[in-house]
Amino acid sequence: MKSIFKIIPGFIWVAAFFPLLVFAQQNTVQKLKQRISELKQKKNYEQDTAYANAVNQLGFYYGNNYPDSAITLLTGHPELCKTIGYKEGETDAYKIIGNAYVTKGDYEKALLYYEKAYLLAVKIKNKRAEAAIMGNIGNTYSNLGNYSEALKYLYQALKAGEDLKDQKSVLITNNNIGNIHFFQGKMDEAADDYKKTLQIAKSITDTNGIILAYNNLGEVFIEQNNLPAAIDNLMNAYQLAVRVNNKWLQIASTKNLGYVYFKMDSLPKSVTFFNNAYLLAKEISQNPSACKALIGSAKAKLKMGLLKDALANALEADQLAQQMGQVQLQRDANEIVANVYEAMGNGLMALKHYKEYKFFADSLHNFESERVAATLKAEFNFSKKELEFDRKTLQQRWLIFSAFAALLTLLVIFWIVNRNRKRAHYANKILKQKNIDIEHQKSLAEDALLQLQSTQKQLIQAEKMASLGEMTAGIAHEIQNPLNFVNNFSEVSSELIDEMKDEIEKGNYTDAIALASDVKENMEKILTHGKRADSIVKGMLQHSRKNSGVKEPTEINALCDEYLRLAFHGLKAKDKTFNAKFETNFDESIGKVNVIPQEMGRVILNLINNAFYAVTEKKNKMNGNFEPLVTISTKNLKNKIEIKVTDNGTGIPQKAIDKIFQPFFTTKPTGQGTGLGLSLSYDIVTKGHGGEMKVDTKENEGTVFTIVLNV
């Protein structure tokens, strides 16, 4: 899926084995082991179907969490069921082993075991089992990415469920068809399928089915970026899951709510939901969900700048993924661990985990390139199994149908083999063409990515140059004042020296000395204003030079005052009609703070420019019947300092608040803003300085931007 948080299609399997899943929730692994131990005390316990069922149930529980343990437990179990003539148990055993291989990602082996289960179900004429296994085969092809084959089996399963008038089976299969459309990116079709699922679930009062449908509709709305609708559906799912105490579905809906709030940049809420999902998953030993919740929480905390907490979550996710041996989760866990170490400046550990991430990513990539071939091979093998079954059936009828029937059978077999050869040849041609198409699409995607990265760099540079231009206009105005003083006092001093010469020639030394004192005083004033001009020029050079990224002790009050005046004079230079009142309220106890002055200056300049823009817009709307006011203040909070930029302008609409720090989002008219100023400022404060940046606003009343920095 396109979303970075899209769940591995777990709900396909939840739906396909819902009765067993509910049992696994109600009976812990300890209880199942105790049950098996009690049954073993009986004589000839291996011939007891109750023992066979208990082993299958324990294998199912392991299959979703520890697939290797499930496979080990059930090795030889189908043969045991066959020995005692328990065909239903044998069918279930093969089916559960198939589930375990699905969890491991070995879909070819999963198909082989599902095929064994399917042939047994056909042999014992268990129509319900046939329908369920057809659904499982369809879901496995979905995991292989062969959606057309997946839909073929799922629609067969749907028809079988309708023929049996089994609304529960219809509900499950309809939901899984919706999942296929979801993975194909056909969100409108997926939404229709999930709505049908919801309707069926309500008609048969299946609360778990209702929860499942609401949750899946929520995922569709996440992909469509309709986040309010996503929250409504996911909250419905969560509240119902709590009411019926279904921990599994509580985890799913809670985790999805975490994804929604992450997309909304409501990071504290996102972390809360991920943590709740993690606690629920650990409570029922649902390790894959616990691992995904930890990864989501780590990503949110990294974005918040809570690096230590993010690292703790990421490392725990990595440990869980290693225990389970799930490649995709190991890849995702190592990626977030590497990102956190990089943000912490620990390059060696970041490189170590990036190598781990690359290893698992390459493993998955290799699997992706092979899975089409695996699908075709599995399809061919399944056809041969069906042929073998038909052949044995015909052999049993040879005694009845005579030599003519035998000849006809041989002709049919020859025709089928010839047909399969042609299919295999055609399948190989398709496979080669698909590989060519995949490589072409990969090349196009890489070119598009490079172009996007280049465009982003150009836009960020344009934003920085716009900021520099506005500041330079202010500097030009600031430097003009001391230069005027230098010129004026120089002219006056020249006249005083001429007068002093005249007085000396006349012998009026007292007056000459007085004039010399005036000249000295003028020279001191010239020196003072010259130094002022010098400091302004040095400040401009310091701002324009390449940022070294090194923090240095900086007078925060002086920095704020300087950039306030630069912003005001810069806007004044651009628009002669511009005028607004500004005030400062500085806490003198702050002193120097370690910051990158050039970067922090850009942030303050951007916030003040936005404030002046907002008050000017309001003044224009009110036809001048309004006094614009922009205030910048600082405050000492012991181990932190606070910088506030306040205006009484137009304010920010509530619907835009959640997007205000997103790149390329702007409330200004087209052509008047790049949408990068606040995004870059937010990154400078939170990532570059480990601080916080918040906004508080009321429409038509004003806005307050607050920066909090650690001392």
Percent of the chain past pLDDT 70, that is, above it, reads 81
Q: Which range, of 8-22, 79-93, 650-664, averages the lowest pLDDT?
A: 8-22
Q: Which residue matches tokens 């606690």?
A: 279
DSSP 398: H
| Residue 385: per-residue pLDDT | 47
| Nearest to 298, CA basis, from 279, 318, 326 | 318
Q: For residue 703, which phi and psi values (nearest 5 degrees)?
A: -140, 145
195 has pLDDT over 60 = yes
| Nearest to 233, CA basis, from 256, 261, 202 | 256
Mean pLDDT of 320-331: 82
Question: For the chain, how big is the Rg over CA atoms in Å?
Answer: 37
The sign of the CA dihedral 705, 708, 709, 711 is positive
Mean pLDDT of 425-443: 76
User: Matching CATH topology for 265-376 and 552-710?
Assistant: no
Tell me the two tokens of residue 579: 């005028």
Confidence tier at 517 by pLDDT (50, 70, 90):
confident
Mean pLDDT estimate for the chain: 80
Count of CA atoms in the C-beta half-sphere (13 A) of 562: 24
- 24-57: per-residue pLDDT in tens? 344 468 888 888 888 889 888 888 899 999 998 8
Tell me the two tokens of residue 595: 């910051």
Q: What is the 3-state secondary structure (H, E, C) of 347-389?
A: HHHHHHHHHHHHHHHHHHHHHHHHHHHHHHHHHHHHHHHHHHH
Tell me the two tokens of residue 706: 């607050």
- 271-311: per-residue pLDDT in tens? 999 999 899 988 888 888 889 999 999 999 999 999 999 99
Percent of the chain past pLDDT 90, that is, above it, reads 25
| Residue 691: per-residue pLDDT | 94
Confidence tier at 3 by pLDDT (50, 70, 90):
very low
Mean pLDDT of 119-146: 86
DSSP count for the chain of H helices, then E strands: 25, 7
Q: Which residue matches tokens 């929604």?
A: 260
Give, in degrees to the nearest 5, the angle at Cα 83 between 81 and 87.
45
Tell me the two tokens of residue 43: 């004589």
- 689-709: per-residue pLDDT in tens? 899 999 999 988 999 999 999
- Distance of alpha carbon 537 from the chain centroid: 45
The sign of the CA dihedral 14, 19, 25, 28 is negative
Strand partners, 629: 581
| Residue 18: per-residue pLDDT | 36
Q: For residue 564, which phi and psi values (nearest 5 degrees)?
A: -65, -45
Confidence tier at 526 by pLDDT (50, 70, 90):
confident
| Residue 459: per-residue pLDDT | 60
175 has pLDDT over 80 = yes
Euclidean distance between CA atoms 437 and 430, whole angstroms? 10
Residue 673, SS3 per DSSP = coil
Query: Which CATH code is given to the segment(s) 265-376?
Result: 1.25.40.10
Confidence tier at 665 by pLDDT (50, 70, 90):
low
CATH architecture designation of domain 12-166: Alpha Horseshoe (1.25)
Give, in degrees to the nearest 5, the angle at Cα 519 between 513 and 524.
130
| Residue 401: per-residue pLDDT | 60
Whether the Cβ atoms of residue 182 and residue 190 lie closer than 8 Å to each other: yes
| Residue 516: per-residue pLDDT | 85
Q: Give me the torsion for CA of 202, 207, 211, 213, rounded to 10°.
A: -30
| Nearest to 385, CA basis, from 141, 115, 93, 133 | 115
Specify which of 178-192, 520-534, 604-618 reaches the highest per-range mean pLDDT.
604-618
List, in order, residues 6 or more apart from 287 with CB less than 8 Å away: 65, 66, 281, 320, 323, 324
193 has pLDDT over 60 = yes
Confidence tier at 657 by pLDDT (50, 70, 90):
confident
Euclidean distance between CA atoms 556 and 642, whole angstroms? 10
Mean pLDDT of 2-8: 38
Confidence tier at 13 by pLDDT (50, 70, 90):
very low
20 has pLDDT over 70 = no
379 has pLDDT over 80 = no
* Antiparallel, parallel or unpaired: β 640-647 and 592-595: unpaired
| Nearest to 150, CA basis, from 176, 122, 189, 186 | 176
| Residue 377: per-residue pLDDT | 42
Euclidean distance between CA atoms 56 and 528, whole angstroms? 91
Domain ranges of the chain: 12-166, 265-376, 399-545, 552-710
| Residue 15: per-residue pLDDT | 34
392 has pLDDT over 60 = no
Mean pLDDT of 163-185: 87
Whether the Cβ atoms of residue 320 and residue 350 lie closer than 8 Å to each other: no
| Residue 164: per-residue pLDDT | 86
Q: Which range, of 124-138, 203-217, 224-238, 531-545, averages the lowest pLDDT?
A: 531-545
Q: Which range, of 92-101, 463-472, 587-596, 636-645, averages the lowest pLDDT?
A: 463-472
| Residue 395: per-residue pLDDT | 59
DSSP 520: H
| Residue 469: per-residue pLDDT | 57
Confidence tier at 134 by pLDDT (50, 70, 90):
confident
pTM: 0.46
CATH T-level assignment (fold) for domain 552-710 = Heat Shock Protein 90 (3.30.565)
Whether the Cβ atoms of residue 183 and residue 142 lie closer than 8 Å to each other: yes
Mean pLDDT of 424-449: 76
DSSP 546: P
